Structure 1
Amino acid sequence: MRSDVGALEKKWLRLRSLVRHIRHVSFVDFVLVSGSMATGEATEESDFDLLVGARAGRIFTVRFFAAGLFEFLGVRRRSADGKGKSRDKICLNHFVTPQSYRLGEPHNEYWAYLYRHLMPIYGKKEAIEVFFDANTWANEPIYRGPSSIRREWSLISVVGEWLFGGRLGNWLEKRLKRYEVKRIERNLASSLGYKPVVRYDDAELRFHTDTRRIEEWCLRNTLTKQ
């Protein structure tokens, strides 16, 4: 069920106010809104799916501090959140680096539909353009224009990139990777569902732990065309 225009606008205002905080996280190149918020199919109970573009060699650093930020704000969605508990929470289920901008195959109608509707909300316009150019298989994106993109200056982010842009950052990335991989694997042991699509390495962090809904969407779309 689609939300009415007024309710959707309120959710967008809420989402924008939350995403603004990510300017304090170093090495974030861009943030794209995905899922029901981008396609206009959100309800009042919907969460906020985000695709985060991280600097090469800093993906685990970005995830650690982004997750910690939204956890501190009390708006990070967790896998244990059930119906009624995920409303207006940030779902960080996909991080990419330049090496993984192009979505891994197979590319079905669902992913094409989703990627056409990805909406830039924060970041470097140049990096966003490179991302969309890498995904031409999904056809021209609907929201490619710059009107919705914001990138605000943050002293915290600037200092963080200065401190952790070299060897110290490499050291931190390795340790955060070790820490996060252990937590990821422990959580996946109890959360994997139907035909999961999961990847966690230096190039990409992707957590679609249950794709039954995707298969059902593709089936409905096929039947509608018949």
Structure 2
Amino acid sequence: MTYSVLEQKILKTVCYFDLFNFPLTNWEIFRNLYTAQDEALDDISLSLANLTTIKALGFNQGFYFLPGRSEIISSRKKKYLIAQPKMRIALWYARILKHLPFVEAIFVCNSLSYLNSKEESDIDFAVVVKEGRLWTGRFFCAGLMALVGRRPTNITQKNRLCLSFFVSESDPCLQKVAYSDDVHFIYWLKQFLPIYDRSNHVQKFSDANRWLDAFLPNYSPTSTNSRWLVKSNFRLSFLLELLLKIKLGNYFERWVKHLQLRIMPKGLIELSKSPETNVVISDTLLKFHDKDTRQQIQKQWTENYQKIIC
């Protein structure tokens, strides 16, 4: 079977989301179209009609999916309902973290960012922190959540807060940690859902990662529903930030960095020394994805796509 260039892009897109049991509407295919190049929504609709006619894709209830995978429609609807209370819990966490020193912006990431959560899953945040205060920001965020028993453990993950990604406002471009072929990282980063923004840091983060537009040009920055936004008004950390902005704050930053590195699992530190970017430990980025599945996803996505077009 020979497919047009646009049809190949559509199949690649559907194949990616199939890995997460997530069927797509025609608008979602347009928005998430991998390596799009000015294709109009009408053109995509025509290509989708052809792909369903030749049974390269299935269609039901407004969703497109790979042949024989209609069951993921009910799975998506179920996960959407599961995600609603999880988002309310995420907002509760964000309302607490916004009062901690140097927290500039908070994004929901991973499956919850596009409302595709499993019942037992935790809640993942990516946190933007003030320049020169990355370790201080993590110290307060992770420390407080540990004190109140809301960090995930090997035994309990459900609705716990996973704080495995901190980035400094001074260096928000994340292209440096992407692999040469990294479809999952591209979608993962584009799907960041902003729920707290202290001072236009969400836009700055988006601007710094314009490199993603080469892969997903139709994916405009996410506009979060107002009911899922945490107001950036009064913050309890105001006085503490004033104190830690001066020279004392530099000493404190070095001290909490040393403290956190001492108690950090040795395995994470060793992974950060490898040429891979699953774990990154620096003064501008803390990425603790020791179970990073990007390369496995890349391989599975490529294999599944090849099976369809061959």
Q: Quick one: which of 187, 201, 209 aligns to 2:290? A: 209
Corresponding residue of 2:171: 100
d(CA) in 2 for partners of 1:137, 1:98:
17
1:25-44 equivalences under 5 Å are 25-44=100-119
- Secondary structure class of the residue paired with 1:25: coil
- How far is the alpha carbon of 1:74 from its aligned partner? 1.5
Letter paired with 1:166? I
Structure 2: distance between partners of 1:67 and 1:196: 22
Provide structure 1 residue ranges, at least 5 long, that are not aligned to the other structure.
none
Amino acid at match of 1:96: V
Q: What value does the CA root-mean-square deviation take over the aligned residues?
A: 2.4
Q: Give the letter for the 1:137 counterpart.
A: W
Output the CA distance in 2 between the equivalents of 1:128 and 1:158: 21
Moved more, 171-180 or 140-149: 140-149
User: How far, CA to CA, are the matches of 1:143 and 1:118 in structure 2?
Assistant: 9
Matched to 2:146, the amino acid is E
CA distance in 1, matches of 2:89, 2:195: 13
Task: State which drifts further: 144-153 or 21-30.
Answer: 144-153
Q: Determine which of 192, 198, 220 is the counterpart of 1:124.
A: 198
Q: Is the 8 A contact 2:107 2:127 kept in 1?
A: yes
Distance 1:136 1:196, change over 3 A: closer
The structural deviation recorded for 1:189 is 6.3
CA distance in 1, matches of 2:141, 2:188: 23
Question: What does 1:35-184 correspond to in 2, within 5 Å?
Answer: 35-77=110-152, 81-82=153-154, 85-103=156-174, 104-107=176-179, 108-124=182-198, 126-139=200-213, 141=219, 144-145=222-223, 147=226, 148-184=228-264
TM-score, with normalisation over the residues of structure 2? 0.65
TM norm structure 1: 0.87
Percent sequence identity over aligned pairs: 25
* 1:196 to partner: Cα distance: 6.2
**Helix, strand or coil at the partner of 1:113:** helix
Query: Structure 1 residues 88, 199: closer, same or farther in 2, change over 3 A?
Result: same
**SS state at 1:182 partner:** helix
Q: Secondary structure at the match of 1:100?
A: coil
* 101-110 or 136-145, which deviates more: 136-145
Residues 84-107 of structure 1: CA deviation (Å, up to 9, x unaligned): 611101111110013331112434
* Long gaps (5+) in structure 2: 1-74
Change (3 A) 1:150 1:142: farther
Per the alignment, in what secondary structure is the counterpart of residue 121 of structure 2?
coil
- Where 1:57 maps in the other structure, the secondary structure is coil
Distance 2:269 2:222 in 1: 37
Higher relative contact order (CA 8 A, sep 6+): 1
User: Cα deviations across residues 81-137 of structure 1 (Å, max 9, x unaligned)?
Assistant: 23x611101111110013331112434100111011100011225111010111122
Q: What is the CA–CA distance in structure 1 between the aligned matches of 2:265 and 2:80, rounded to whole Å?
A: 40
CA contact under 8 A between 1:59 and 1:97: conserved in structure 2? yes
Q: How many angstroms does 1:70 deviate by? A: 1.1
Aligned equivalents of 2:90, 2:102: Cα separation in 1: 21
The one-letter code sitting in structure 1 at the alignment partner of 2:121 is: S
